[in-house]
Structure 1
Amino acid sequence: MPHIDYFFATLSPYAYLAGNRLEEIAAKHGATITYKPFDLITAFGRTGGQPPKDRHPSRQEYRAIELPRQAKKLGMPFNLKPAHWPTNGAPSSYAIIAAQNEGGDVGKLCQLIMTAVWAEERDIAEDAVVRDCLEKAGFDPALADKGLLQGADTYARNLEEAVEKGVFGAPFYILDDVHKFWGQDRLEDLDLVMAGKL
């Protein structure tokens, strides 16, 4: 059975723009997914990248063009400058880790959390927002309080694993620990590789 390790940050606009396409591709090919939220800003510092605010103006300008363009292409609501960004992505990441350990529709939870940031002007560092997303995804909202130590430990381990495996941005998909794909715009390539066409 094919397996995809999905490295992402809940604050990544590009992970938000991936929508539910990863889950659709996995279902199509009978693949499993392990969701691995990690600290993208720390990863940038360790892999030669820079946070958006520190990038050259030409890169910032292109980002401001590209993100709304991709959102329009995908038919997704998008706010280039959300009210609560950047914020602390750890609480939402811990909730995702706890939900994955519980079992259920983790993909839906991820999408709800990222939609809260990029389309709904909500702060995913707030307990009430995380609990609401958990409940809407079919999880017990109390998961926001459970396993915080384990969540923190897994979140830290995800970062180390990401750096070790050559992950330098988000979203980043690794198929069967061999094939690497960076960016929501490479999901088609992931699909083609899984189909044996690429």
Structure 2
Amino acid sequence: MAHIDYYFATISPFAYLAGTRLEEIAAKHGATITYKPLDLMALFSRTGGVPPKDRHPSRIEMRAQEIERQAKKTGLPLNPKPAFFPTNMAPSAYAIIAAQNAGGGDLGKLAHGILAACWAEDKNIAEDEVIKGCLKTAGFDPSLADSGLLAGAETYAANLEDAVKRGAFGSPFYVTDSDQRFWGQDRLDDLDLHLAGKI
């Protein structure tokens, strides 16, 4: 059975624009997924990237255009200038880590719900009530937001180290158990073809 390690940040617009396609592709091929939320700004600094606000204006402008184009392609609602971006990624990442450890709900729905809260609903995903609402909607106990904070912090840091070791440098980033790497939601079709044994 194929396996995918999914490295992403809970404030990443491109992870949001992936929608639930990763989960659909994994289900199609009987693949499993490990969700590995991480600190994207730290990943950038470790792998030669630059936070969006510090990039050259031409890169900032291109990113803004690309986000809106991709939103139109996917049909996902998007506010290109969300009210709470950037915000602290750690609390929402800890909740995903706790939910993955606890089981019983839909992790894909949780991850997408948190991303949508930022990029489509103008909610602050660093706030407990927002996180608890996302947990509940995805079938998890909302109290997971209050538990396992130490373990969450340790796993969050470990996810960053693992991402660097595995060659990830952005979000979303998908790495298969055969070490095939796919960067960006626009490479999900390639991941699908790879799992089908076509590329």
**TM class by shorter-chain length?**
over 0.9
Deviation at 1:177, TM superposition (A): 4.4
Equivalent residue for 1:183? 184
What is the distance in 2 between the residues matched to 1:64 and 1:181?
A: 22
Equivalent residue for 1:163? 164
Unaligned segments of structure 1, at least 5 residues: none
Structure 1 letter corresponding to 2:149: L
Task: Say which SS state the counterpart of residue 19 (structure 2) adopts.
Answer: coil
State how many pairs are aligned: 198
Offset from partner CA, 1:116-167 (integer Å, 9 cap, x none):
0000000000000000000011110000011000000000000001111111
What is the distance in 2 between the residues matched to 1:53 and 1:189?
A: 30
Task: Say which SS state the counterpart of residue 34 (structure 2) adopts.
Answer: strand
Equivalent residue for 2:77? 77
- The 3 A distance-change label for structure 1 pair 153 and 177 is farther
Offset from partner CA, 1:95-133 (integer Å, 9 cap, x none):
000000011210000010000000000000000000000
TM-score when scaled to structure 2?
0.98
Task: Say which SS state the counterpart of residue 27 (structure 1) adopts.
Answer: helix
Task: Say which SS state the counterpart of residue 14 (structure 2) adopts.
Answer: helix
TM-score when scaled to structure 1?
0.99
Equivalent residue for 1:26? 26
Equivalent residue for 2:90? 90
Tell me the C-alpha RMSD between the 2 structures. Answer: 0.6
Q: Which consecutive aligned stretches of 4+ in structure 1 deviate over 2 angstroms post-superposition?
A: none
Unaligned segments of structure 2, at least 5 residues: none
What is the distance in 1 between the residues matched to 2:95 and 2:133?
A: 11
